Chain A
């Protein structure tokens, strides 16, 4: 039985008619809303490739039933920044070569954005590594990922202070 719901998706209100109650947020995005930037690496909450922000918090979209999200605010990689105006995390990932094949990258970046907004201390690389350890990178780009998260956290903290001033 179809289920109607409303989401705020990447800043825009979307009415969604769900054809099947089994649909996860990940499969809603990828197979029904043509937002394929979010990746499926395990479908079991074990790899982080599908990380998106729901109401500002990072979640594994493969473990989130879409039907539970009526009224929620969802941000995916497509809503974070654009090629012309990259989010600081995106820019830092390019700068520090924080990826190779790129398949885990949208999840890493969303996870990093969430981690930074949780109040990460940029000067604590051990904490960054821990905080990013829900996102597997089989290519092993962890060195660059850690540097990128650190730099983005610093830059965002500095920008935040400027904005506040």
Chain B
């Protein structure tokens, strides 16, 4: 399959349609099954005891009391934990971090599992875990960026971002007529998918069968296989639906591995579901950052330098440093660019990728700093960004595979009414006297592809079965991927049965990085084309086919018929070709990936512009987002209805980042004080009125044969900065700490 097409491809009739979700009925009737909905017979419930301190050792536990509780079957502690075949620190499977599975009595973060209780009922297991009442030898915990010295980052491998410099940074600073030197901080955030991590594990001999949410079937199978010393083929994962992932469900998490270990130990199926509180610790989070931005511009408002230093937390036992400073690469045409990272080791669970890792936090700081410099230069924020519009990728000079960002700016500004914005802050009030402000931000997110495989089988009745182990965590894979497959096979969507969500299917790759539709979709597309090619060969060799003799031609399938490309006069029905050939189903396979040459030749990003209106109560300091308009260009949109939902969701995450989410640590115990939905705020319905999304048309002939980028993460990028800037515009206050709360409006 070619990696690029000279012309934007014409695609069939399903893609581009706002088809309603194919899994809609299952989800509205309660039929859609998530991992914890399974209860095989003989199953035990597992509940773990979390550490109540962040640093130290467990010195005692009352296992006698726990074991004596009616219904409790087994108590597993570091003292009696059955052996694991693999190394908990093994990182050979991509995206893996060291897991905490009772390997010793050391406590490395609050919420770390310190013991596991198995019982006949959930109630008994819960009470058993409570009765353990661990005692500790406590050391002083380090839980905020101020609690330890920063250190360099290795700059290699996942979670260790490399420093990047383009151009002469010192010269850029010297050339600046105006500059700002500002430091922004962002809070630790926890993914908190609505579905807490859960697993139902069953062993049969050395075969392991799991109901577990996963964003990456093959990686998860490989991970469990390594920990338990069995071949990856012996691991079966069923996951038709995930109740949200956001980056936290790609690889086996420690507590889930413990449940599998326990199931093997007792010889019975085991179910473990994390409590909401337990979601704050062992399953990843977005680390806090402190970002210093020194940016300068010449007298015309052209950027001479963006110098971005990021200090982010990681754990004491593994590395994931939020690559926030990298958000300054790739976006604005500055004379010099520098992104640097340092890490602070804290007594917290290892951070990990969380929706728009790097970009969300980095863009929050960058977009606010850009506004500060625009204001210092006396230039409208939108005009300032247009003056620094990059026609090629800054630093590298590579052409963009496509970039309709200018259209995003203009269409978004038009819809929002940006041109009526007074430049002075603190001058707008609404009818009820609330301070009103308008701000904007640019959104950028890479358009990566991973690797995936798919299979398509055409049947003699004119229907097809297409298969890949895609993971649908709400982005709409069940629907959008079927639309792609239908078009590639030239069949109506109703004639295509799509199977996904099971590890026995061809590897659907990773649902993450906003690259799933492009990657799994690319594999399905290639599989469809493989069927079409084979069918063409059969038809060309068949004297009874109108296509007889068209041996060297290219074939295309459309409306259930096969055509010779460029010769619309001759065609044959797909089903008829198969029937005449004996009626056996015809199978094709395909792979979705990006060739390294293609990846090197172009800079590939989705782009967008977000405009925000906020209202601030002048007496109470209460902040509300009253309007958000986001205009995004992300290549071909397979399903505008679902893409819009993704973008809305991302923008709401932006509101959440800007105004709500913050894990607050008790510096004495090292525990998170607000580890629940009462204290850890995420937006509710009343928090997000007035959202609008504009999908800006963009043809991309280079990014992949489908022209698809991705929309899963970009909505959050740009939104955070836009809100911070709108608050400045409303109140005259520049708050450099996210989330921005009432406290920032007082005093």
* Residues of chain A whose beta carbon lies under 8 Å from any beta carbon of chain B: 19-20, 22-23, 27, 30-31, 34-44, 46-47, 49, 76-78, 80-83, 86, 90-91, 93-95, 97, 99-106, 109, 125-126, 128-130, 132-146
Q: Does B453 lie at the interface of the complex (its beta carbon under 8 Å from any beta carbon of A)?
A: no
Given contacts A31-B122, A37-B29, A142-B688, contact A43 B275 (CB under 8 A): yes
By the criterion CB–CB under 8 Å, are B121 and A90 in contact?
no
Most buried by B among A35, A40, A76, A93: A40
By the criterion CB–CB under 8 Å, are B473 and A101 in contact?
yes
* Residues of chain B whose beta carbon lies under 8 Å from any beta carbon of chain A: 20-21, 23-34, 36-37, 39, 121-124, 127, 192-196, 241-244, 246, 273, 275-276, 472-476, 641-642, 644-646, 648-653, 676-678, 682-689, 691
By the criterion CB–CB under 8 Å, are B28 and A30 in contact?
no
Nearest 3 Cβ contacts at the A-B interface: A37-B30, A103-B243, A100-B474
10 A-B pairs with CB atoms under 8 Å apart are A22-B123, A80-B29, A81-B29, A86-B25, A99-B28, A101-B241, A103-B241, A132-B684, A138-B194, A140-B651
By the criterion CB–CB under 8 Å, are A140 and B653 in contact?
yes
> A80 vs B562: C-alpha distance in the bound complex, in angstroms?
45
Given contacts A41-B194, A94-B25, A129-B685, contact A102 B645 (CB under 8 A): no
Residues on B with beta carbons closer than 8 Å to the beta carbon of A76: 30
Closest B residue by C-beta to A105:
B27
- Cβ 8 A contact of A139, one of B32, B474, B678: B474
By the criterion CB–CB under 8 Å, are B684 and A141 in contact?
no
Q: Shortest CB–CB separation between residue A141 and chain B, in angstroms?
A: 6
By the criterion CB–CB under 8 Å, are B122 and A143 in contact?
no
By the criterion CB–CB under 8 Å, are A141 and B27 in contact?
no
By the criterion CB–CB under 8 Å, are A36 and B276 in contact?
no
Q: Shortest CB–CB separation between residue A29 and chain B, in angstroms?
A: 10
Residues on B with beta carbons closer than 8 Å to the beta carbon of A46: 276, 676-678
- Cβ 8 A contact of A90, one of B29, B37, B276: B29
Residues on B with beta carbons closer than 8 Å to the beta carbon of A95: 20
Given contacts A101-B195, A139-B244, contact A90 B28 (CB under 8 A): yes
By the criterion CB–CB under 8 Å, are A102 and B677 in contact?
no
Main secondary structure of the interface of A (DSSP, over half): loop
By the criterion CB–CB under 8 Å, are A142 and B194 in contact?
no
Residues on B with beta carbons closer than 8 Å to the beta carbon of A135: 684-685
By the criterion CB–CB under 8 Å, are A27 and B676 in contact?
no
By the criterion CB–CB under 8 Å, are A86 and B20 in contact?
no
> A76 vs B488: C-alpha distance in the bound complex, in angstroms?
41
Given contacts A41-B276, A146-B685, contact A36 B194 (CB under 8 A): no
Residues on A with beta carbons closer than 8 Å to the beta carbon of B475: 100
Q: Shortest CB–CB separation between residue B228 and chain A, in angstroms?
A: 27
By the criterion CB–CB under 8 Å, are A141 and B648 in contact?
yes
By the criterion CB–CB under 8 Å, are B24 and A100 in contact?
no
Given contacts A39-B34, A145-B685, contact A20 B194 (CB under 8 A): no
Given contacts A140-B648, A141-B649, A146-B685, contact A23 B123 (CB under 8 A): yes
Closest B residue by C-beta to A125:
B689
> A43 vs B644: C-alpha distance in the bound complex, in angstroms?
31
Given contacts A46-B676, A102-B474, A141-B648, contact A136 B30 (CB under 8 A): no
By the criterion CB–CB under 8 Å, are B242 and A101 in contact?
yes
Closest A residue by C-beta to B684:
A133
By the criterion CB–CB under 8 Å, are B276 and A94 in contact?
no
> A145 vs B30: C-alpha distance in the bound complex, in angstroms?
16
By the criterion CB–CB under 8 Å, are B30 and A106 in contact?
yes
By the criterion CB–CB under 8 Å, are A78 and B29 in contact?
yes
Q: Shortest CB–CB separation between residue A92 and chain B, in angstroms?
A: 9
Most buried by A among B26, B649, B687: B649
> A78 vs B740: C-alpha distance in the bound complex, in angstroms?
41
Residues on A with beta carbons closer than 8 Å to the beta carbon of B36: 30, 36, 40
Given contacts A103-B244, A104-B194, A109-B28, contact A44 B678 (CB under 8 A): yes
Residues on A with beta carbons closer than 8 Å to the beta carbon of B26: 102
By the criterion CB–CB under 8 Å, are B686 and A103 in contact?
no
Given contacts A39-B195, A81-B29, contact A99 B474 (CB under 8 A): yes
Given contacts A136-B677, A138-B194, contact A36 B33 (CB under 8 A): yes
Q: Shortest CB–CB separation between residue B481 and chain A, in angstroms?
A: 15
By the criterion CB–CB under 8 Å, are A140 and B28 in contact?
no
Most buried by B among A49, A77, A99: A99
Given contacts A39-B34, A136-B194, contact A126 B241 (CB under 8 A): no
Q: Shortest CB–CB separation between residue B240 and chain A, in angstroms?
A: 10
Q: Shortest CB–CB separation between residue A133 and chain B, in angstroms?
A: 4
Closest B residue by C-beta to A148:
B28
Residues on B with beta carbons closer than 8 Å to the beta carbon of A31: 39, 121-122
Q: Shortest CB–CB separation between residue B612 and chain A, in angstroms?
A: 16
By the criterion CB–CB under 8 Å, are A140 and B683 in contact?
yes
- Cβ 8 A contact of A102, one of B39, B192, B243, B678: B243
> A81 vs B743: C-alpha distance in the bound complex, in angstroms?
47
By the criterion CB–CB under 8 Å, are B29 and A82 in contact?
yes
Closest A residue by C-beta to B642:
A97
Closest A residue by C-beta to B693:
A143
Residues on B with beta carbons closer than 8 Å to the beta carbon of A83: 25, 29, 31
By the criterion CB–CB under 8 Å, are A42 and B677 in contact?
yes
Residues on A with beta carbons closer than 8 Å to the beta carbon of B32: 102
> A17 vs B626: C-alpha distance in the bound complex, in angstroms?
51
> A91 vs B29: C-alpha distance in the bound complex, in angstroms?
10
Q: A40-B36, A41-B677, A46-B678 are in contact. List 10 more A-B contacts (CB 8 A).
A: A22-B123, A27-B123, A47-B276, A78-B29, A97-B645, A128-B685, A130-B685, A138-B194, A139-B649, A142-B688
> A135 vs B686: C-alpha distance in the bound complex, in angstroms?
11
Given contacts A38-B30, A145-B685, contact A101 B24 (CB under 8 A): no
Given contacts A105-B28, A141-B648, contact A129 B194 (CB under 8 A): no
Residues on A with beta carbons closer than 8 Å to the beta carbon of B23: 102
Given contacts A97-B641, A97-B645, A142-B652, contact A103 B34 (CB under 8 A): yes
Q: Shortest CB–CB separation between residue A23 and chain B, in angstroms?
A: 6
Q: Shortest CB–CB separation between residue A88 and chain B, in angstroms?
A: 11
> A83 vs B25: C-alpha distance in the bound complex, in angstroms?
6
Q: Shortest CB–CB separation between residue B72 and chain A, in angstroms?
A: 13
Closest B residue by C-beta to A78:
B30
> A39 vs B28: C-alpha distance in the bound complex, in angstroms?
12
By the criterion CB–CB under 8 Å, are A140 and B688 in contact?
yes
Residues on B with beta carbons closer than 8 Å to the beta carbon of A145: 685
Residues on B with beta carbons closer than 8 Å to the beta carbon of A37: 29-31
Closest A residue by C-beta to B681:
A136
Closest A residue by C-beta to B475:
A100
By the criterion CB–CB under 8 Å, are A142 and B685 in contact?
yes
Most buried by A among B32, B39, B127: B32
> A78 vs B196: C-alpha distance in the bound complex, in angstroms?
22
By the criterion CB–CB under 8 Å, are B677 and A103 in contact?
no
By the criterion CB–CB under 8 Å, are A39 and B243 in contact?
yes
> A150 vs B650: C-alpha distance in the bound complex, in angstroms?
23
Closest A residue by C-beta to B646:
A100
By the criterion CB–CB under 8 Å, are B29 and A136 in contact?
no
Residues on A with beta carbons closer than 8 Å to the beta carbon of B684: 132-136, 142
- Cβ 8 A contact of A129, one of B193, B276, B650, B686: B686
Closest A residue by C-beta to B70:
A20
Closest B residue by C-beta to A142:
B685
> A136 vs B648: C-alpha distance in the bound complex, in angstroms?
15
Closest A residue by C-beta to B243:
A103
> A105 vs B123: C-alpha distance in the bound complex, in angstroms?
26
By the criterion CB–CB under 8 Å, are A102 and B27 in contact?
yes
By the criterion CB–CB under 8 Å, are A101 and B244 in contact?
yes
Given contacts A90-B28, A100-B649, A139-B244, contact A133 B685 (CB under 8 A): yes
- Cβ 8 A contact of B645, one of A90, A136, A144: A144
By the criterion CB–CB under 8 Å, are B195 and A103 in contact?
yes
Residues on A with beta carbons closer than 8 Å to the beta carbon of B275: 43
> A141 vs B687: C-alpha distance in the bound complex, in angstroms?
12
Residues on A with beta carbons closer than 8 Å to the beta carbon of B34: 39, 103
- Cβ 8 A contact of A40, one of B28, B273, B648, B685: B273
Given contacts A90-B29, A102-B474, contact A136 B682 (CB under 8 A): yes
